[in-house]
Amino acid sequence: MIYNVQMLIRLVCLLTVIAMVPRRDLVNAEWYADIYGGGSFTTRHNVESALPGFTVTAHDAKFDTSGIVGGRVGVWFDRIPWLGAGLDVFHFQPTIGGGQTLEITAPGLNGTTTIQTINVSVLGLGFDVLRLRLPLLQGDVYPAGRLQPYATAGPALFWTRAKDTTNLAPPANQSDTDMSVGLKVGAGLSYQVTPLLGLFGEYRFTHFEAQHEFTGPVQLSETFNTHHVIGGLSFRF
């Protein structure tokens, strides 16, 4: 909880800085809107189940590979054309696959268990408070460069819905949604096919933690470290 509060404070500060950008820079700026899709690969991690009085840890759980879709809008500033900012919305599903036999530990307990599927769906809202690009192949038609390597970083909000099957029954098929604050960073390459339309490819990494409350009471805690590879279209105006 303290971690989330600290991240929210930082987020508010960064958005305040963006709001202070002179209006002239925004009016004369280069705006963009992106749509994209790709794949998401969440690395193995421990999953903890907190019950009254003790915690059970399932070690090295595997998350399913997922597709990712999203859209992004933003601006490259007028007086500093290599600097920009953006807002990014995306969705992926790092489900914890069933049939895994995992080592489990708890106070006074060591053993293994076979878990059933926990369906996970994530909606992310990324604040790209720092976007940097390198203008290459510049000319009169493409003053900001036809080829643009870029990097992006900022905090993100994650809404994570977890739906159990029979791991925590009864009752079966419990679900819960958690909102948490995390991090999104990335790097990519954009190529302008025309002055108004570009193609891009990007690698990004997201990190966040989620906690879900189920009947029991049981608190399920997961950590998501995910690599994303995406490609899409960029509209400039």
Q: What is the pLDDT of residues 176-235, one digit of tens each?
A: 999 999 999 999 999 999 999 999 999 999 999 999 999 878 999 999 999 999 999 999
- Phi, psi of 216, rounded to the nearest 5 degrees: 155, -55
CA dihedral 40, 99, 47, 112 (to 10 degrees): -150
Query: 13 falls in which pLDDT band (50, 70, 90)?
Result: low
HSE toward the beta carbon, residue 200, CA cutoff 13 A = 30
Query: 7 falls in which pLDDT band (50, 70, 90)?
Result: low
Q: What is the pLDDT of residues 67-85, one digit of tens each?
A: 999 999 999 998 899 999 9
- Residue recorded with tokens 């995910």: 226
Q: Is the peptide bond before 135 cis (omega within 30 degrees of 0)?
A: no
Return d(Cα 128, Cα 210) in angstroms, integer: 21
